[in-house]
Structure 1
Amino acid sequence: MSDLDNPKPAIEMQTLSATYASSVDEASRPAGWMYRPIKLGRKATWYASPGFQLGMVAFVCFMCPGMFNALGGLGGAGKTDNTLADNMNTALYSTFAFVGFFAGTIVNRVGVRLSLSFGGIGYCIYAISLLVSEHAHVSGFNIFAGALLGVCAGILWSAQGAIMMSYPPEERKGRYFAWFWCIFNIGACIGALIPLGQNIHVKTQKDVNDGTYIAFIVLMAFGAVLALFICDADKIIRPDGSRVILMKSPTWKTEIVGLWETLSAQPFIILLFPMFWTSNWFYTYQMNSINGAYFNVRTKALNNFLYWFAQIVAAVIIGPLLDIRCIRRSVRARYALGILFVLTMAIWGGGYAWQKKYTRKTVAAKGFEPWDWKTPGYVGPMFLYFFYGFYDAVWQGTVYWIMGALGNSGRKLANLAGFYKGIQSAGAAVIWSLDGQHKLPYMSEFASTWALLCGSLVCAAPVILFKIKDFVPIDEDIKGTDETLEDVLPPGATVEKRAMEN
């Protein structure tokens, strides 16, 4: 057995990469404006650094999916009748599910910059179609916009996932998630404040106005343009001087083969698929069956803001907790599983108590008065909705962290992100269809969500308990690529590494 197959040298290489960071200075980086120091407070960074680029990606998502989340959080995409939004979202998540599964291949071939910009265009057209539908019957355009967004979003989120999981060093992946998720959800919060400000005095149930849609369109278009200024992954240099693991000259053939290799090399990933499937399932119930069904327009806007604000709070908490250095990563994974189970039982148990109060029939009955924030008893569902948002961020953050713990290769993680978003969207397509076409009872939507969350944790437990290592050796990450250790390790590190091997 060679030393490269022996775990000890791999451990030393990982340690070398981490400790080398303190000795890397500006002279060690390539020439060019991308690598010149940029002062941000007391710290210096550079344009093509992981942190700076993740910040830019977060602002793209702030403008595009962040605004989309704010729009969807109003229930029915801002319309009193949620049928149109349900049909659009069914088309959206159907194409998202198909494209998402292969999106990692597309991202690896064309690069993250063009992938993110193309993805942003779909969000803009989706909002335009909603504005047009306020003045004319354009159901064909609406369904097309939903389907197009599915294609665009699949590619955008695969690129985002690859960046967020492969750019940071292993010990900071939780914090990078927190940083991204906070900026991204600030977009959703600001987006929620737009209809809240415009409808602050409206106590009746009504559609949002044209100005709301126009504001969303402008912001989404800006996000698509901003994405063109992001660097591709091959330009990124980490603070320790190492690079992101990629294929040097990817082709469609190599990336399609890489898609299969991602699954064949780690078939246990399939046990995470139920968690992927469930991760957007609850949105339909929360946004349509609670917020859209039971509250008036200004209260929906307030609930929407609180939901996305809770995600920021949760990200700030869960990100650093997942990176605590005094606890080994394999042990942290087990704690994360336990925390998710406790939160699932506590928060959704409270949700059951609330859902028993009304049905689809009672809120559709003549004389039903949607709740306002001044209605006695509103504080209870307000906090429930807040904690639903909190739970969403904890769930999504843990899933991203688990995937990131399985490797550091940008190529592999782009494929994993594509699997995640594709399967997630397949689940969303099913529940949006059940809500829009079959008008599933609210209690059935709630019960299916709670059961899927609990069941998916059971399925994922073997991966979380037995497959997450304290770190992933570099030589394991570069398998299946044309990269060498010299390509990805910090300058000068290879000399010491060879000494260890010999």
Structure 2
Amino acid sequence: MALLPRLRTPMGQVILVGAVCFCCPGMFSALTGMGGGGQVDPHAANRALTALYAAFAIFGLLGGGFNNILGPRITVLVGSVFYALYVASFLRYNHSHDERLVVLAGGLLGFGAGLLWAGQGSILMSYPPERDKGLYISIFWSVFNMGGVVGGLIPFFLNFSRDRSSSHSVNDTTYIAFIVVMLCGSILSLKLVQPDQVAREDGTQVISALHTDVATECWEILKLFRDPRMLAFVPACIASNFFYTYQFNNVNGLLFDVRTRGLNNVVYWSAQMLGSVLAGRLLDKSSPSSRSRAHLGILLVAAASTLIWAAAFVNQTNYSRHRLPHGVPLDFTDGFQFLGPFVLYSCFGLLDAMFQTLCYWVMGEMSGEVQTLSRYGGFYKGLQSAGAAVAWQLDASEMALMPQLCLNWILMSLSFPLLWIMVRDFKDERHHRKEDEEHLFLLDSSSTNSED
């Protein structure tokens, strides 16, 4: 009986939405991370992911409005069911090799993902107390990315006995396992609650959306494109998923055999958990000044980005789409030859989590209001997905690998000075944010009482 009240705390809701993302986007990330959706030929997956992220760009942007109208439980529930449908299309593709269903399922998942991540973003950025935002983000990221770890183990063990020279796609059992886990995530989303049912330990309540409607949401979303801070945020939004295509298809997918790709993903998503904890702790504890913590976080992530992309540049000089360094894909039994690309791929996971933790923390510092943060999250996911759609299409057109790498490096590098500009107006002391939240709560209470 005591479980339900604990689930209605900010930590309970963050862990719960993390568990949903463990089951749905986490498994999706593990499958996508294998390159080609687990298929030898990535063409069908590239087309499906292009459709997915094109739809995601639209519904990710609108997702904050859906969340403000429907609430996080319905928004996340509806969004989650399309993940299992997407994987089921690959199960059918294993036998029919008909791309049409895969592409259609990708487009539908773009709609669903836009809703799910809008609900997730509003919970993650608005529920935590101010002093622990980085901690909550890192906890969510760790739970979510544990899905990638488990999802990497599934194809590793289910395909372990195959000959390393096998050119087969992953087997049906792998896809079925992903589908079952994703359906469990949809069931878990039923335990999410409305923001006004969540109370923090310090006695403050989460401020829920007030009397929002479709026209209001459309207008407020359009206004984001006139906000100088959000315009400065555009390169970071685009960069934050753009690199997945290169990393998944053209590092993990090209350089390693099927069973080793699964093992690599276990470490990739484990590194994400470490990266989110490091970045979250830094952003919470390094200084009492929000601006100082933001500056330190930007400098740290920028330095890590430069080092890791420089190492990737060196690695890329050794191979192309049609010329592998050793003639055949690497296996984890290949010793030193395997070690260098493996470490690089793991560092990609570390950088991804640090960068996205920084982005979520910056957005969370910009407002204390659920409805505003929901729109910020939709803006982030919408532009993120537009960039991903372009990236998957570039790879589908067989763009050379070195230009792909350089484009990723440039986009991420451009993000850091603009993030620096975004945070220049952050208030110096944490108590200002707490005063703002208390003021919003009083306004909300006053509005409610006047209606009564």
* Unmatched 5+ stretches in structure 2: 447-452
Q: How does 1:28-43 map to 2 (within 5 A)?
A: 37-38=2-3
Match of 2:355 in 1: 395
Q: How does 1:57-456 map to 2 (within 5 A)?
A: 57-202=17-162, 203-204=164-165, 205-262=167-224, 264=226, 266-324=227-285, 326-363=287-324, 368-375=327-334, 376-436=336-396, 438-456=397-415
Q: CA deviation at 1:233?
A: 1.4
Q: Is the 1:333–1:465 contact (alpha carbons within 8 Å) kept by the matching residues of 2?
A: no
Q: How does 1:450-489 map to 2 (within 5 A)?
A: 450-467=409-426, 469-471=428-430, 472-473=432-433, 484-485=442-443, 487=445
Work out the CA distance in 1 between the residues paired with 2:42 and 2:366: 39
Pairwise CA RMSD of aligned residues?
2.2
Q: Is the 1:100–1:154 contact (alpha carbons within 8 Å) kept by the matching residues of 2?
A: yes
Work out the CA distance in 2 between the residues paired with 1:465 and 1:233: 30
Q: CA deviation at 1:380?
A: 1.0
Q: CA deviation at 1:235?
A: 1.2
Deviations 1:1-23 (A, max 9, x none): xxxxxxxxxxxxxxxxxxxxxxx
TM-score (norm: length of structure 1): 0.84
Q: Is the 2:368–2:433 contact (alpha carbons within 8 Å) kept by the matching residues of 1?
A: no
Q: CA deviation at 1:169?
A: 1.0
- Amino acid corresponding to residue 445 of structure 1 in structure 2: Q
Work out the CA distance in 2 between the residues paired with 1:404 and 1:96: 22
Q: CA deviation at 1:468?
A: 5.8
* Unmatched 5+ stretches in structure 1: 1-32, 40-44, 489-502
Work out the CA distance in 1 between the residues paired with 2:269 and 2:286: 29
- Amino acid corresponding to residue 401 of structure 1 in structure 2: W
Deviations 1:304-358 (A, max 9, x none): 1111110011122221121006442210111011111111111111111111100
1:325–1:352 distance in 2 versus 1, CA, 3 Å: closer
Q: Is the 1:475–1:485 contact (alpha carbons within 8 Å) kept by the matching residues of 2?
A: no
- Amino acid corresponding to residue 270 of structure 1 in structure 2: L
Q: CA deviation at 1:486?
A: 6.0
Work out the CA distance in 1 between the residues paired with 2:157 and 2:312: 28
Deviations 1:247-267 (A, max 9, x none): 233222232233245555x43
1:478–1:81 distance in 2 versus 1, CA, 3 Å: farther
- Amino acid corresponding to residue 333 of structure 2 in structure 1: K
Matched-pair identity in %: 36
* Number of aligned residue pairs: 443
Structure number with the higher helix fraction is 2
Q: Is the 1:60–1:224 contact (alpha carbons within 8 Å) kept by the matching residues of 2?
A: yes
Work out the CA distance in 1 between the residues paired with 2:102 and 2:438: 44
User: Secondary structure at 1:407's aligned position in 2?
Assistant: coil
Q: Is the 2:57–2:385 contact (alpha carbons within 8 Å) kept by the matching residues of 1?
A: yes
Work out the CA distance in 1 between the residues paired with 2:323 and 2:122: 45
Work out the CA distance in 2 between the residues paired with 1:102 and 1:250: 14
Work out the CA distance in 2 between the residues paired with 1:439 and 1:419: 29
Q: Is the 1:348–1:450 contact (alpha carbons within 8 Å) kept by the matching residues of 2?
A: yes
- More divergent stretch after superposition (348-357 vs 242-251): 242-251
- Larger CA Rg, structure 1 vs 2: 1
Q: Is the 2:279–2:297 contact (alpha carbons within 8 Å) kept by the matching residues of 1?
A: no
Q: CA deviation at 1:465?
A: 3.5
